[in-house]
Structure 1
Amino acid sequence: MVDVRELKIGNYVYLQNNKTPYKITEIGYSEIEYPRYEASRISSGAVFRTYIENLNPIPLTEALLLKCGFERKHFGSATIFCHLSIELDVYFCLKGVDYNIPVRSLHQFQNLYFDLIGKELQVNI
Structure 2
Amino acid sequence: MSLVFPLSQIALTAAITAVASLLLLFGARQYFKVRSPGEMLLIALVAGFSVLAWRSAGNTPALNADPIPAVSPNDVLCPMITYIFLGLYAAFRHPGEHDVRFEQVRAVLTLVSFAVNVITI
Larger Rg: 1
Please report the TM-score for the alignment, with normalisation by the length of structure 1. Answer: 0.26
Bigger relative contact order (CA 8 A; separation at least 6): 2
TM-score with structure 2 setting the length: 0.26
